[in-house]
Amino acid sequence: MHFRPLIPAMLAVAVVFSGASPAAADESPALPLVVEHYLPVREALAADNLDGVAEHARALSESKDRALAAAAGKLGDAQDIGAARKAFGEVSRVLIKQLKASSKKKVGSGADALLVFECPMAKPYGKWLQAENAISNPYMGAKMPRCGKLVDMAGGREPARLLREYFTLRTALAGDTLEGVRAAAGVLAVSKDKAIASAARELASAKGIAAARKAFGGVSAALIKQVEANAKKKKGAVQLPTVYLFKCPMAKPYGKWLQETDGISNPYMGARMPRCGKLLSTLGGSSDGAATYGCPMHPDVAAKAPGKCPKCGMALRKKE
């Protein structure tokens, strides 16, 4: 199983809940409430105890969102774990609804590191949020800790959310291992992009590393297409980290992949030919000037220094 630690940057970003304005300096931002108070409650219930639940529930009950405050109030008043789990279901319902609404409004919720799971055994509401991609059921506890499935990404905007799991896949395959592959592929399988989801499901069910690499090629093809389309958008583009597009001529039918670093590490060939391939282009990049040169003919090509476009050979120009 692959566990993903909480991402510290999440603490600095606010979720905009309905009925509340974006968090000002004197307001308690909503996302830190989720991180600091919701997730510890989930962990406690998954461990079949109420340690700290009332304290965290009281903090959540101070939310400006009335529905969240009311649900958290019931959670804080719960006298046993059964009542706490029922109230936790209502808290989860409200939070997931609000995170989805913020995503539709294209508000930077910062919740792209949270995942939505669902347990069919936990009624009437069996969904919950997690930061880890390995399931840990708060409604069933030790009785059925792995009951349920991943059903959505809470507010995550593609392709930014997908890249995190994709890099886990690439690193594993480059190291000739399948460790963490199934869990990471499971996250990509709930992508809104049908091509990515289909290839990711195939990858998650791969029986060996050869089959996994073939399916990874399908995931890469679809994700690269999405990343390149995002780079060409003049409005509404999702901010991405700098990523590097490589191609290996030995890996057919599709030998392209993305990396978070520019030192080649081939996921198709592994230790046999780790440096086989070449850099095709640089994509994404933060707004702080990480990539300041681009090709006038290929807007998806970016670089940190002057040079030639790897696609057409034209000299890169400094971006305004």
Q: Most confidently modeled of 29-33, 89-93, 105-109?
A: 89-93
- State whether residue 201 is helix, strand or coil: helix
Distance in angstroms (rounded) separating the CA atoms of residues 24 and 30: 11
| Angstrom distance (rounded) from CA 119 to CA 193 | 24
Single out the residue of 110, 161, 167, 120 nearest to residue 140, CA to CA: 120
Q: Is the pLDDT reported for residue 128 higher than 60? A: yes
The answer, yes or no, to whether residue 105 has pLDDT greater than 70, is no
Dist. CA 19–CA 27, nearest whole Å: 14
DSSP state of 58: H
From the list 133, 132, 134, 153, the residue with the least C-alpha distance to 145 is: 134
Average pLDDT value for the chain: 84
What would the pLDDT profile of 162-219 be if each residue is shown by its tens digit? 998 999 999 999 999 999 999 999 999 999 999 999 999 999 999 999 999 999 999 9
Torsion of CA 42, 45, 49, 54, to 10 degrees: 60
Other C-beta atoms within 10 Å of 313: how many? 9
More confident residue, 109 or 67: 67
Task: Name the DSSP class of 235.
Answer: S
The two tokens of residue 138 are 């708060």
Distance CA 215, CA 230 (A): 23
CB 245 within 8 A of CB 205: no
At 142-171, the pLDDT tens digits run 999 999 999 998 866 789 889 989 999 999
Rg over CA atoms, the chain: 22
Asked whether the beta carbons of 298 and 309 are under 8 A apart, the reply is yes
CB 264 within 8 A of CB 255: no
Could you give phi then psi for residue 95, rounded to 5 degrees? Answer: -65, -45
pLDDT at site 30: 58
